[in-house]
Amino acid sequence: MPLVTADPALRTTPLRVWANGRLHEDPEQATVAVTDHGLVVGDGVFEALKVTAAGPFALRRHLERLDRSAAALGLPPADHAVIRGAVGELLVGQEVELGKIRITYTAGRGPLGSGPAYGPQTLVVALDGAEAPTPSTAVVTSPWARNEHGALTGVKSTSYAENVRVLAHAAAHGASEALMLNTAGHLCEGTGSNVFVVLGGRVVTPPLAAGALAGITRDLVLEWTEVEERDLTLDEALAADEVFLTSSLRDVQPVHRWDAATFGAHPVTDAVARVFAERSQADLEP
């Protein structure tokens, strides 16, 4: 089946697709089998990373997380050299001001059900344009909880329908992201971001034990700045002085509204954002 369904006329940046060993000059011709387990039951993992004119950012870290996610699904490690080669092919001759590289790795062909896949594994690497994040954003609280004890907790799986549904709820309420609590009632994460709050000048973020994905940007913020990891209640988070999100395409993004709560100046967030910008621009493979 075709990998690309969006109307090419709506794209501002050409989409380029490398699939199962070769670059497709026409991305509409890139296909996967209709019995691919990634399609049939979401038996696959993925990574999405930022790329600029300087090149892809933190590719090594993303590949290492891809392997951790693959291991959680019982998949063998992906071939990093092949993926790096695919990324290189995609970028040849391209002037990318801001883009996204998505790596999708699935179990390959399998039954039309939850039994084990037959393989071989499917590997797709794609390059597309990306929009710069807005200076700040609005978020809402998700009406659904994240299960911090689930089989896919902390796994960047292609089984993303839950996140799609939660994000649609955010959009319906004028927000770019929805933040989820876990089953214990503690703050967890967004559909595609990690969340930080500032309390009395101290930056705090939920621990991974709360069910959050170990975001690459989250990890770097923890390495480069002083952050406390601990459980947070919703009431405590909403009463914070500042709130910000992190992700590979948002970088460090202040939140100006969360449900009915509003946030004004964000000096601590700005300081974190400056450190992240300086360090990330200085080293593409931190």
In a shared domain, residues 28 and 101:
yes
- CA distances in angstroms from 279 to 142, 201, 218, 250, 273, listed in the order given: 33, 22, 14, 16, 10
In a shared domain, residues 121 and 186:
no
CATH number, position 110:
3.30.470.10
* 227 domain residue, yes or no: yes
In a shared domain, residues 152 and 243:
yes
Strand 98-106 to 122-129 pairing: antiparallel
By CB atoms closer than 10 A (0-12, 13-18, 19+), residue 191 is buried
**Does pLDDT of 270 surpass 90?**
yes
- What per-residue confidence (pLDDT) applies to 14? 82
- Nearest by Cα to 257 from 248, 266, 270: 266
Distance CA 215, CA 156 (A): 10
* 223 domain residue, yes or no: yes
Q: Point out the least confidently predicted range of 7-11, 142-146, 232-236, 249-253.
A: 7-11
Distance CA 138, CA 176 (A): 6
Are 243 and 197 a contacting pair, CB within 8 Å? Answer: yes
**Does pLDDT of 150 surpass 80?**
yes
**Does pLDDT of 98 surpass 50?**
yes
In a shared domain, residues 74 and 157:
no
In a shared domain, residues 124 and 166:
no
- CA distances in angstroms from 119 to 1, 75, 107, 132, listed in the order given: 16, 10, 6, 37
Residue 162's contacts (CB-CB under 8 Å, 6 or more residues apart) are: 144
Facing residues of 126 across strands? Answer: 17, 102
- Nearest by Cα to 253 from 83, 152, 134: 134
Distance CA 89, CA 222 (A): 33
Strand 177-181 to 137-141 pairing: parallel
* 156 domain residue, yes or no: yes
* 164 domain residue, yes or no: yes
* 3 domain residue, yes or no: no
- What per-residue confidence (pLDDT) applies to 1? 61
Distance CA 190, CA 209 (A): 15
Q: What is the pTM of this model?
A: 0.94
> Is residue 234 helix, strand or coil?
helix
CB atoms within 10 A of CB 2: 10
Instruction: Show which of 95, 129, 163 is a domain's final residue.
Output: 129
- What per-residue confidence (pLDDT) applies to 188? 98
Residue 132's contacts (CB-CB under 8 Å, 6 or more residues apart) are: 98
In a shared domain, residues 82 and 170:
no
CATH number, position 268:
3.20.10.10
- What per-residue confidence (pLDDT) applies to 118? 95
In a shared domain, residues 110 and 186:
no
In a shared domain, residues 111 and 189:
no
**Who wins on pLDDT, 11 or 182?**
182
Query: How would residue 11 be classed by pLDDT, with cut points 50, 70 and 90?
Result: very low
**Does pLDDT of 3 surpass 70?**
no
- Tokens at 157, concatenated: 């799986």
Query: How would residue 2 be classed by pLDDT, with cut points 50, 70 and 90?
Result: low
19-70 pLDDT, tens digit per residue, is 989 999 899 999 999 999 999 999 999 999 999 999 999 999 999 999 999 9
Mean per-residue pLDDT, 218-230 = 98
Mean per-residue pLDDT, 87-109 = 96
* 266 domain residue, yes or no: yes
Does a cis peptide bond (omega within 30 degrees of 0) precede residue 120?
Answer: yes
In which domain, by residue range, is 194 found?
137-282
In a shared domain, residues 172 and 251:
yes
Instruction: Show which of 129, 157, 173 is a domain's final residue.
Output: 129
* 9 domain residue, yes or no: no
In a shared domain, residues 65 and 120:
yes
In a shared domain, residues 149 and 62:
no
Facing residues of 257 across strands? Answer: 138, 262
**Does pLDDT of 4 surpass 80?**
no
In a shared domain, residues 209 and 76:
no
Residue 157's contacts (CB-CB under 8 Å, 6 or more residues apart) are: 42, 44, 45, 46, 69, 73
Instruction: Show which of 129, 162, 177 is a domain's final residue.
Output: 129
* Number of domains the chain contains: 2
* 149 domain residue, yes or no: yes
